A and B are shown apart, each in its own frame.
Chain A
């Protein structure tokens, strides 16, 4: 069974600086890991994905890094903007079924 753990419940960074959100998993068998973002009173929205055969995927200001030997992935946001303030979920995709981590609340201060 796969477990997805986000050990930092919150993170605060200054506007313009880098935000790094971390995620650990337990099961080496997977096809994709995803990141979703959630604003208050809204549903989560898909942000970026990474497949098991890659170690990096970049989309604009967002980059996800995968370290399979450490069973660890991270999301980098550079530069951080106040509008990035939200809860970020690390998500395992098990073929249509998504398993969400506990989330990290990011606060970007102007």
Chain B
């Protein structure tokens, strides 16, 4: 099992540019989650999907953030336009039944200059 795959692992971009983060969940998992980790706010849930449908996006910080899950094996998180305060590690996680055990990817470290 390859686990949750995220790309890129590192992203450096300039303020105002569009950023796209990608995630491939574990096959057979019905739930997909996007988290963000910062020094100030810790690890926080941004949005989650069930069977490719967004269920709760209350953690998405602003309209500049959007996430989609076009099929069961892919999701992306976009930031447009990016700002320096978006710099963080973004994690994708998936789970089979939405229960206690979520499987996290290695994260994407985003730096916006």
Residues of A at the B interface (CB closer than 8 Å) are 32, 34, 41-46, 49, 89, 93, 95-103
Report whether A100 and B100 are in contact in the complex, using a CB–CB cutoff of 8 Å.
no
Taking a contact as CB atoms under 8 Å apart, the answer to whether A100 and B31 are in contact is no
Q: List 19 A-B contacts (CB under 8 A).
A: A32-B100, A41-B107, A43-B4, A43-B93, A43-B103, A43-B104, A45-B104, A46-B100, A89-B43, A96-B31, A96-B48, A96-B50, A96-B98, A97-B48, A97-B56, A98-B45, A99-B45, A103-B42, A103-B43
Known: A97-B45, A98-B45, A102-B42. A44 touches B104 (CB 8 A): yes
Instruction: For A87, give the chain B residue with the smallest CB separation.
Output: B43
Most buried by B among A34, A43, A98, A101: A43
Q: A41-B106, A96-B55 are in contact. List 20 more A-B contacts (CB 8 A).
A: A34-B100, A42-B106, A42-B107, A43-B93, A43-B105, A43-B107, A44-B43, A44-B91, A46-B100, A46-B102, A49-B100, A89-B43, A93-B100, A96-B48, A96-B98, A97-B45, A98-B33, A100-B42, A103-B42, A103-B43
